[in-house]
Chains A and B, each alone.
Chain A
Amino acid sequence: MANDGPTPLERFVNGVIPENPVYRQLLGMCPVLAVTGSMKAAMTMAAAVAFVLICANVIVSLIRNLLQPHLRILVFTLTIATFVTIADRLLKAYMYDMSKELGPYIPLIIVNCLIIARCEVCASKQRVFTALSDAVGQSVGFALGLASMATVRELLSSGSWFGVELFWKTGTAGEQYRWGLMALAPGAFFTLGILLGAAVWIGSMCNKNKTTLEA
């Protein structure tokens, strides 16, 4: 058991902050930029990604001993594409309005590097339970990344959160302060750039504290 690598719990914790898919690994950037205009859309996207990631990781982990090395990418893609189709249909059936809003970004989960990277790095080498907790950890980390982006953008662009207007309400004089640019493409790039810088800065501060404590 000693050569089993990290435990499931470590895998889970790793995915949330130290190896956060958005801020540390910079994986799967399209949804991070594209669907974070509102909190609702971002959370639906996070749920869809989590569903696909968990299912794909479990399946790949189950068949890891049968995989032919040169065919593994093909198998990953097949698995991911199937689960994305299922997620897409489920959304269309039970959350029709949301599926219309997310539009092509749901099928684009297929080419989200995050999922294929987790299949390759973790699921194809670890046991099912480890792979599962890794997938859950990464999904939580991804959801956190999306949520931070969406919170900033939705608050600034329309003064609301999860569609509930907190300030700059419609019909009041405050409406003119809404920062419409944040809902558009440049706003997405700016928010991510600044949040990324902040994440790196906080990370370096933490490291500095640790080294000074040890010294």
Chain B
Amino acid sequence: MQYVGELILIAVGAAVVNNFLLHYFVGVCPFLGVSRRVDMAFGMGCAVTFVITVAGALSWMFTYYILQEGAPLATWIYQKCSGDPTATSNLSILNYLIYIFVIASSVQLVEMYVRKFFPVLYKSFGVFLPLITTNCAILFACLMILKYVDGTTGWGIGQALTLSFFAGIGFTIAIVLMAGIREELTLCDVPKPLKGAGITLLIAGILAMAFMAFTGVDKQLGKLLTPPKPTAAEQAPTGESQDATKSIAYTTKPST
């Protein structure tokens, strides 16, 4: 139950609260380029979700078994080669190189697989696949996984998969919303200098503000999902927000 709760938290966090596009600004290039029509945006979103999940899982495996300090597989090989049973390997210098090649090859892999087995799907989003290699969102997901694999958090494959899949979903939500708005925008009289990228960025700003309203949703959800500790303090029942505009001081509430 604890595990499922953690996964749900990661999913909500990646998809809406800390949306990759509107909170971390990764993947802005396709966001500006491919958000003119809803169907194209949706295709792009699907392709990103597909690739990000595969790349996330692969990069977790590489990080966990080979790259991180004292990784089992690399250490085993290193010990066999050096003959020193206490030696540990640390290949973290190769992290970025490996990730970018994992991403490039998973893009290739996904493209070949989809073309062979799902020709219909390939027709709808196949054209976007080669563009995805240089989408920052994918590398960013790999780097997030790297950050949480080591040390105290110790993420497993489940968490890594959840994060990457829902990050893709979040990306799709944002880009489809944007495309919907931009389709309506063709009927509007936009000031000439702002046409194209300018107005898109301004709308993205408003969307980012809207997504800020999700702030704290995951924390409250976390409180619901984790069983209450016996000495836990009573939490303030009001919806909490980190928004500057909501900085109303509540009266002191005694602990129970």
What number of residue pairs across chains A and B have CB atoms under 8 A from each other?
120
Other-chain residue from B25, B135, B144 in contact with A188 (beta carbon distance below 8 A): B25
Does B248 interact with chain A (Cβ within 8 Å)? no
Interface string of B237-252 (1 = CB under 8 A from A): 0000000100000000
**Chain A residues, Cβ within 8 Å of B26:** 30, 34, 108
The range of chain B's interface size is 35 or more
* Interface pair B191/A197, CB less than 8 Å apart: yes
Q: Which of A77, A88, A89 contacts B100 (CB 8 A)?
A: A77
B35 to chain A, nearest CB (A): 13
Most A CB within 10 A of own CB, among B136, B138, B194, B200:
B136
A43 at interface, CB cutoff 8 A: no
Q: How far is the CB of B64 from chain A (nearest CB, A)?
A: 18
Residues A170-206 near B (CB distance < 8 A)? 180-181, 184-190, 192-194, 196-198, 200-201, 204
**Stretch touching chain B among A11-19, A62-70, A109-117, A133-141:** A109-117
What are the interface flags for B89-113 relative to A under an 8 Å C-beta threshold, 1 for contact and 0 otherwise?
A: 0000111110111001000000000
**Cβ-closest chain A residue relative to B130:** A73
Question: Of A26, A30, A81, A190, which contacts B97 at CB under 8 A?
Answer: A81
Interface assignment of B154: CB less than 8 Å from any CB of chain A: no
Closest chain A residue to B33, Cβ basis: A26
Q: Name which of B72-80, B120-128, B160-168, B204-212 contacts chain A.
A: B204-212
Assess A194 versus B134: contact at CB under 8 Å? Given A30-B25, A185-B23, A186-B212. Answer: no
CB within 8 Å for A186 and B104 given contacts A29-B29, A85-B93: no
The size of the chain A interface, using a CB distance under 8 A, is 41
Q: Are B32's CB and A26's CB within 8 A?
A: yes
CB closest chain-A residue, reference B97: A81
Other-chain contact of B212, A81, A116, A185, A192 (Cβ < 8 Å): A185
Contacting residue for A81 out of B29, B96, B133, B194, CB 8 A: B96
Question: Nearest chain B CB to A93's CB is how many angstroms away?
Answer: 13
Which residues of A (45-87) have their CB < 8 Å from a CB of B? 74, 77-78, 81-82, 84-85
Instruction: Return the contact of B202 from the options A81, A112, A189, A198 (Cβ within 8 A).
Output: A189
Q: A107-145 vs B: 1/0 string, CB under 8 Å?
A: 110111100100000000000000000000000000000
Contact check, B134 vs A111: say whether CB atoms are below 8 A apart. Answer: yes
Q: Is B11's CB within 8 Å of the partner chain A?
A: no
Contact A194 B202 (CB under 8 A): yes
Are B197 and A26 in contact (CB-based, < 8 A)? yes
Task: Answer yes or no: B139 CB below 8 A from chain A CBs.
Answer: yes
- Can you report 15 A-B residue pairs in the complex whose CB atoms are below 8 A from each other? A26-B197, A34-B26, A78-B97, A88-B96, A104-B140, A108-B140, A110-B96, A110-B100, A181-B209, A185-B25, A190-B202, A192-B201, A193-B198, A193-B199, A200-B192
